[in-house]
Homo-oligomer: A and B are copies of this chain.
Amino acid sequence: MSTPGRGLHGHVLDTLGPEITAGEYPPGSVLRTDELAQRFDVSRSVMREAVRVLESMHLVESRRRVGVTVRPKAEWNVYDPQVIRWRLAGADRPHQLRSLTVLRSAIEPVAARLTAQHATAEQCAELTECALGMVAHSRGHQLEGYLLHDVAFHRVILTASGNEMFARLGDVVAEVLTGRTQHDVMFEDPDPAAVTLHVRVAEAVRARDADRAEELTREITVGALQELDILVP
């Protein structure tokens, strides 16, 4: 998923990033480069590179004679995929999951509308294939296969929209859907209503019915929000 072991500075980030995003250092806390270098047993240069990356994510701020201070959560680059992963792996996973699901509920319907307007014939076919794959795997605890097609479906919707900002949320949605299956409750077969909705979205896109595609996708995301409300009230 991530890119582990891309050098020593990567290893440092894999430890320090989750710690900071988990809130282990309250905002305003001061870290010192030298101490961190000692703690991780790396040279100052490596440590400095790691700090620079954290700084570019707005997680910390480095100032002379002061040190590396942790910034308040409100300033973090919460759209950075790495930050999202760190937070999803940490303590405020439920909170993050809700934020992202609300984001989905805003983005995906509009994306579906655009997809209905702009999708190529190939993308339409891909979408239908995904929906049919979901149907095929929706019974008998074939959760892995189902998830795979579900993720692919939403990824097509987002990329076929033709909007680069939407397209880049494909990974985020994948992470949310995967997390829902893996970590949280999903023992039973998927909701048949949801499966049907996906099929109908694919149909609407193929029929170039933008209004219907948007509305049906809205129903899907509303369902996702309700599911979350049940899991984490």
- A: residues with CB less than 8 A from B are 9, 45, 48-49, 52-53, 55-57, 73-74, 76-82, 99-100, 102-103, 105-107, 109-111, 114, 163-168
Contact = CB atoms under 8 A, between A and B. Distances in A.
Contact of A165 (B57, B73, B99, B111): B99
Nearest to A13: B56
Contacts of A56: 53, 56-57, 80, 82
Given A56-B82, A79-B80, A80-B79, A99 B9 contact: no
11 contacts: A56-B56, A56-B57, A77-B80, A77-B81, A79-B168, A99-B165, A100-B165, A102-B114, A102-B163, A102-B165, A107-B107
Contact of A166 (B81, B103, B164): B103
Contact of A164 (B45, B78, B164): B78
A21 to B, nearest CB: 12
A165 B48 contact: no
A151 to B, nearest CB: 17
Contacts of A164: 73-74, 78, 99
Contacts of A166: 102-103, 106
Contacts of A80: 56, 77, 79-80
A168 B53 contact: no
